[in-house]
Amino acid sequence: MMTSLKELAIDSTEATILTPAVCAVPVQTPNFYCVRSLSEAYSDGVSKQDTGTLNNVLSTNSSAKVTAVHRNGGHSCAETFCNAAIGMLGAYAKTVTNDTYYSELVAIAFSSAYFHDTIAVRSHNLAIGSPVTLIFSQVVAGAFEMGEGESQGTVQSTFRIDNELLYYASNIDSQSDTTQTSDSQILVVNTTVGSTINICGRLDAIVQVHNGGSIVADYSNTTTFYADSQTPEVILVSASSHDYSSMMPECDRLSRSWRA
């Protein structure tokens, strides 16, 4: 019996985001923003893991690969890598096993990446407390490629904006095929000038194959996260200085810096 992919999920506890006081210049505080990547590979009971976590640094990546030879002559391989940067995440996971008699071969690859940041809502001309409408969005694109054999895979992307959530998921189960998947989602948030918004993006890719087969989840071409203001004369200031603007029609471009 194959292991449920839900059983492979890592601890989703996320690093604490320290929110600065509202002021003209963003306060750079330790752990104020961070990126993280995690890769795990399991092949016939042999595991390998590479993890990277960086605070106040704009990018990181991790990778893992392991190959195991079964006592009955079969072999299995799991490979994964991911890239994490502020506003942009990528994940790739691949597993392969060959089919030999009396062999129980299982390979699992798991890739996860996330970032934290904060966005301060500012304006030169609007008073503190003035109503503001913001649009947050995520764009996800990738593909599953599945060969023969018993295999399954899932990809999930989430974009948390304070207590609101954008969620994307794609799954494939034992179908020999190449499946392109993509999605674009938006969330409208009503807030005020002077507020600070916590955001977190996360991308997970998990694949598993059992006894003679292969599966690839390739979302390495990145999931991208955006923030735009629909209210004129609003400046969005990210703690990381990353520009989240998507150039959506009728939306002001996000400012990289505050000019008093």
Average of per-residue pLDDT across 65-77: 82
Residue 159 and residue 168: Cα distance in Å, rounded?
Answer: 9
pTM for this prediction? 0.82
Whether pLDDT at 131 is above 80: yes
Average of per-residue pLDDT across 51-63: 75
Work out the pLDDT band at 174, boundaries 50, 70, 90. Answer: low
Cβ atoms < 10 Å from Cβ of 74: 20
Whether pLDDT at 22 is above 50: no
The DSSP line for 52-103 is: EEEES-SEEEEEEEEEEE-TTS-EEEEEEEEEEETTEEEEEEEEEE---TT-
User: Which residues partner with 181 through β-bridges?
Assistant: 142
pLDDT given at position 250: 60
Average of per-residue pLDDT across 73-77: 82
Whether pLDDT at 101 is above 80: no
- Measured at the CA of 163, the angle between CA 160 and CA 164, to 5 degrees, comes to 60
Average of per-residue pLDDT across 22-43: 61
The mean pLDDT of the chain is 78
Cβ atoms < 10 Å from Cβ of 157: 26
